[in-house]
Chains A and B, each alone.
Chain A
């Protein structure tokens, strides 16, 4: 017996979901470590949302389609990796994907079969897409879930790194999610791998690479 897909999507968006997310910062700790000031965090978030995050969201949408139609997912993973040039970012996403897949293995065992052809641990958007396919989450909700989760993760980390009023953090999440709202319907309709956005964020990718080499950090990436 499963609850409605809407409930599953809320569960997946909940930061308390035990899948390893609390040790991640969506690139925010790397940015702050590189000298980004707190007042520039909204700009960082909206830049992340329309680049890295939308690539992930589109990847999740394509994976959902592939899982529903029993199509191969390896080409989707390759397309995602090609659009995520930072190894540190790919590693962080695979850590998250592995944690989420581990949980999914307990709750929705069939999710793993959609990703079985992949050699290593799948990146997070592929796991999210496969869960969406198996739990009936629609594409547009999946896109919003991917964006919300990434932004909320960054802001939760912000409260640890540059402590401020948590209510300000909530406003930041809402603002960042709203900033890409116009693109969401288009991303949700994607059916071709070639149309996954290829919006790079080279500065943030460089920060992620530098962060991965530091020995003093609170977050994985």
Chain B
């Protein structure tokens, strides 16, 4: 089966993040704010299949046919990174059935902080945290927090109830991300929704101009290797394209 030519290929935008941080709700928000000007499709990856797809269909933000669910065999992590086949086929089907589409949003099944999309599946990805998960999560880092194209700190309207300092959490996140984009979002705060809308449009624009290059946040966050023989008791080590070859030879280990 031939790949769809680049001209009809939508921007594929992944939405990842731990369970319950508001990924489906964020997708509904994106759809609500852009459905009038863009042709959208949505793929959900659930643990139990179509829970999120049903939520989105019932939200009435898109025609129900444009929202599809794929099974993940209880491995939502695998389905967006190690074996992306099912999602790729679903994206190609959506792009064919509703051609031309502008954006296909792919929602990962809620997983842990290490789950990010393969750049072979999505062109850009949003990682979603929420204030209710705790103000310190952004500091904990991880590939999604550190290197997703956009980090969303969601449900800021709940901050007073859970005792989280939103500006502090955003500052922690910005530091962990070395200046990459961070957005404090609440679906009831229209200014933040407008910022999200502008971000999606800007990525779409650079995708169309061919200047957007998909980034791989990587499957593993930088982590510490204990080694008593080293002066500082070990070393911090990350797995990226910039990984020095000497380090990987020195300390080979599996990332599974």
Give A contacts to B, CB under 8 Å: 16-25, 95, 98-99, 101-103, 105, 121, 157, 160, 215-220
Contacts and interface: CB of A to CB of B under 8 A. Distances in A.
B89 A23 contact: no
Contact of A215 (B54, B79, B85, B86): B54
Nearest to B2: A105
A102 B3 CA distance: 9
A216 B78 contact: no
Given A121-B1, A215-B49, A23 B86 contact: yes
A183 to B, nearest CB: 29
A131 to B, nearest CB: 15
A160 B74 contact: yes
Contacts of A121: 1
Given A18-B83, A20-B85, A218 B1 contact: no
Interface stretch (B65-73, B99-107, B148-156, B199-207): B65-73
Contacts of A160: 73-74
Contact of B82 (A18, A99, A157): A18
B85 A19 contact: yes
B71 A23 contact: yes
B83 A20 contact: yes
Given A22-B73, A215-B49, 17 more contacts: A18-B84, A18-B85, A19-B83, A20-B85, A22-B75, A22-B78, A22-B83, A23-B73, A23-B79, A98-B1, A105-B1, A216-B48, A217-B48, A218-B47, A218-B72, A218-B73, A220-B86
B85 A102 contact: yes
A102 B88 contact: yes
B172 interface: no
13 contacts: A18-B83, A22-B78, A22-B79, A23-B71, A23-B86, A24-B73, A25-B73, A99-B89, A102-B85, A103-B85, A121-B1, A218-B47, A218-B48
Contacts of B48: 216-218
B86 A20 contact: yes
Interface string B219-251: 000000000000000000000000000000000
B111 interface: no
Contacts of B51: 216
A22 B72 CA distance: 7
A102 B75 CA distance: 21
Q: Which residue among A22, A24, A99, A105 has the maximum number of chain B CB atoms within 10 Å of its CB?
A: A22
Contacts of A19: 83, 85
Nearest to B70: A23
Interface in B190-221: none
A208 to B, nearest CB: 14
B83 A218 contact: no
A25 B49 CA distance: 14
Contacts of B75: 22
B50 interface: yes
A218 B49 contact: yes
Contact of B86 (A99, A101, A103, A105): A99
A95 B89 contact: yes
A42 B84 CA distance: 31
B55 to A, nearest CB: 12
